[in-house]
Amino acid sequence: MSEAQPLFALLRQSVQPGIADALERLVREAPDRKLSRINALAFAASESLDEEQTINGFLHASSLGLFEMSWNVLCPGCGGVLDANTSLKTVQSDKYTCALCAAGYEPTLDEMVEVTFTVSPRVRRIEAHNPHQLPPSEYFRQIYWGSGIDLPDEDFEARIDEFVMESLELPPGEKAVISLQLPAEFVIVFEPVTHAAQFLEVKGEPTKERQSLVLVFDRAHRHSETLTLRPGPLRILVENHTEVRVLPSVCLANDALHALLGRRRSFLTAKRLLSNQTFRDIYRADTIDVDQRLKITSLTFLFTDLRGSTALYERVGDLAAFDLVKTHFSILNDIVGAEAGAVVKTIGDAVMATFPTPDRAVVAAMRMRDAMLRLNKERGSEDLLLKIGIHEGPCIAVSLNERQDYFGQTVNIASRVQHLATSREIFATGAVLEDPRAYDLLAERGLKPRSHNVSLRGITDQISIFTIP
């Protein structure tokens, strides 16, 4: 831990003191299990810290080597980690299958990829750095389930015992026998290391004759077919054909299991992190591979542009205009970052920014408008006239020109909506105003957007545009 002291000193140069203090206490004092796959949002809540500043703190700490980031593909059903990656670049599969839920999913960056933080082994060694030595229950807690499952601290073992009938640790190449009495319930034999599951529908007349089952755990077979057995004695021969320890568990698919998996909490999604300005500043192009195309089901785009910028350069001169435009960019960048957004790029005098939710974009837009009005008032002129357009929808995250970017019709519409905007009003599409948080935000401020239908170049159907006064 003495090696970490200089790193925390460096961290204090980049993040708020309260955030740095909380992260140092976490690394020094927390039990091992609290330092594996840390949920940044849950940590912020537990320490009464600002979410965005906490995320930024973890990002700066990771860049210094205090933590390691993990990009985990999740099952939206059970919340299990289907694939853990040290980089988003290795999230390559078109489809992920959860054996426990017997369902396949196409990964999206919204709720299916979480970003967690684990303390670096160079800073502090914890049990999860050797996951194949963890007790079975802790393997489930620290390795299998994602950080969105709100697992209890106090009675975790007791809660597990309510649905796990039998479990064992099976070394590589070994065989073992599990003997038990089957109740008339739905039973799952689940192995979290290889993500294999065997479903057993236990019904009918009880039997005293011993039933037998052979399960081989390897990296290919998922045991997805449901077998029908009768209540009574069962002998399961399990074989480990992998190079690591496996942890087969016989579980009841009962209310206790469903109650445990039903305890959910917010977690840091890949979508939110890609729209974080600190993340983009630190990691830049080292995010998405050139050939990757990662789907996002909902992202909010905000475009701005300066109206009459050519006339501005003519009126005040190149040098003065350049300084003024530079000041405007700085103000917009600060506002975008403060509202959990990120500037994707600037194009001439225009800005393209993303936000995880429409309400944050609407707040940012109103703050931008107010900031330009103040700046103009201070200068005694109307030099900075800002046009703003907002749209929300699906898109694809890509890598273009050595920069993480976005592609799709949502981006095109947002850009064209901005071109329609005036310098005094914000234009937002119906998709933005249909968001309950954005609607409530405007209602609280007594703002009544005016609607009109417009035709956009390249878009077949007319769309509803709302003017935010």
Q: What is the DSSP string of 174-242?
A: -EEEEEEEEPSSEEEEEETTTTEEEEEEE-SS---SPEEEEEEE-SS----SEEEE-SEEEEEEEEE-S
Mark whether 38 and 131 lie in a shared domain: yes
Average pLDDT over residues 22-51: 97
Q: Provide the pLDDT for residue 310.
A: 65
Distance CA 192, CA 143 (A): 9
pLDDT tens profile 334-390: 999 999 999 999 988 899 999 999 999 999 999 999 999 998 888 777 777 899 999
Let me know if residue 173 belongs to a domain: yes
pLDDT tens profile 205-222: 999 999 999 999 997 766
Mark whether 57 and 198 lie in a shared domain: no
- Which of 253, 273, 296 is the C-terminal boundary of a domain? 253
Structural domain that includes position 460: 286-468
The β-bridge relationship of strands 249-252 and 164-167 is antiparallel
Average pLDDT over residues 302-315: 78
Asked whether the beta carbons of 248 and 189 are under 8 A apart, the reply is yes
Mark whether 429 and 307 lie in a shared domain: yes
Mark whether 243 and 333 lie in a shared domain: no
Mark whether 120 and 226 lie in a shared domain: no
248 contact partners, CB below 8 Å, separation of at least 6: 167, 168, 170, 178, 189, 190, 191, 215, 217, 236, 238
Asked whether the beta carbons of 36 and 142 are under 8 A apart, the reply is yes
pLDDT tens profile 42-69: 999 999 999 999 999 999 999 999 999 9
Cα distances (angstroms) measured from residue 50 to each of 43, 53, 149, 340 = 10, 5, 21, 11
Average pLDDT over residues 300-313: 82
Q: Provide the pLDDT for residue 286.
A: 65
- For the record, the structure tokens of 428 come out as 């937002």
Number of continuous H segments (helices) and E segments (strands) in the chain? 15, 21
Asked whether the beta carbons of 199 and 222 are under 8 A apart, the reply is no
Phi first, then psi: give them for residue 381, nearest 5 degrees: -150, 175
Nearest CA-CA partner of 461 in 427, 425, 428, 429: 429
Let me know if residue 360 belongs to a domain: yes
Q: Provide the pLDDT for residue 134.
A: 94
Distance CA 107, CA 296 (A): 9
Mean pLDDT over each residue of the chain, to the nearest integer:
91
Count of domains for the chain: 3
Q: Provide the pLDDT for residue 224.
A: 67
Mark whether 300 and 447 lie in a shared domain: yes
Mark whether 152 and 187 lie in a shared domain: no
Mark whether 378 and 448 lie in a shared domain: yes
Any bridge partners for residue 67, and if so which?
Answer: 119
Mark whether 141 and 15 lie in a shared domain: yes
Q: How confident is the model at residue 233 (pLDDT cuts 50, 70, 90)?
A: very high
Q: Provide the pLDDT for residue 1.
A: 62
Is the pLDDT score of 92 beyond 80?
no
Q: Provide the pLDDT for residue 193.
A: 94
- Which of 137, 159, 181 is the C-terminal boundary of a domain? 159
Q: Provide the pLDDT for residue 456.
A: 79
Mark whether 95 and 209 lie in a shared domain: no
Asked whether the beta carbons of 60 and 53 are under 8 A apart, the reply is no
Let me know if residue 279 belongs to a domain: no
Mark whether 423 and 331 lie in a shared domain: yes
Is the pLDDT score of 239 beyond 80?
yes
Let me know if residue 259 belongs to a domain: no
Let me know if residue 119 belongs to a domain: yes
Is the pLDDT score of 291 beyond 80?
no
| pTM (two decimals) | 0.90
How many CB atoms lie under 10 A from the CB of residue 400? 14
Average pLDDT over residues 257-262: 94
Mark whether 184 and 117 lie in a shared domain: no
Let me know if residue 349 belongs to a domain: yes
Nearest CA-CA partner of 75 in 158, 197, 170, 184: 197
For the chain, the 3-state helix, strand and coil shares in percent, each to the nearest 5, are 35, 30, 35
Let me know if residue 266 belongs to a domain: no
Let me know if residue 79 belongs to a domain: yes
